[in-house]
Amino acid sequence: MKNIALVEDCCPPLLETALSAEDAERMAVAFRVVGDPTRLRLLSMIATHPGGEVCACELVEPLGLSQPTISHHLKVLFEAGLLGRERRGTWVFYRVSSGPLEALRSALATTPN
């Protein structure tokens, strides 16, 4: 979970050609990012928020987890490329990056594209 664009270059279509060990590892890392309920809810909350953008401060209380925990999950999502981040004053705003999500999605395609 290091590179910004982790998800971007992870995802040859799974069912089309046999996956190499390296591709499988990359893809697995990407799917593990969305394999956590808190991160899924964060994505969902941010995407459905009016304006498509949410202050991190609004995400702590509704999930009932500590601020460090939410911060950690936001970081994981950001580093995977699934979230964009913008600082405005003291606040940090997040929005969902649809491209990488689509990349992940395409990996699961059951018909050639």
Task: Please choose, from the candidates 41, 64, 42, the residue with its C-alpha nearest in 3D space to the C-alpha of residue 54.
Answer: 42
Q: Which amino acid is at 31?
A: F
CA distances from 92 to 35, 79, 110 (A): 24, 15, 38
Instruction: Mention every residue, 6+ apart, whose C-beta is less than 8 A from residue 98.
Output: none
69 binds, among a second copy, DNA, none (CB under 5 to 8 A by kind): DNA
Asked if 67 interacts with DNA (CB under 7 A), we say yes
Chain contacts with a second copy (rule: CB under 8 A)? 14-19, 21, 24-25, 27-29, 31-32, 34-41, 43-45, 47-48, 96, 98, 101-102, 104-105, 108-110
Supply 47's token pair: 């995407």
Return the number of the residue (31 or 93) whose C-beta is nearest a second copy. Answer: 31
71 binds, among DNA, a second copy, none (CB under 5 to 8 A by kind): DNA
Among 4, 25, 32, 62, the residue binding DNA under the rule CB under 7 A is 32
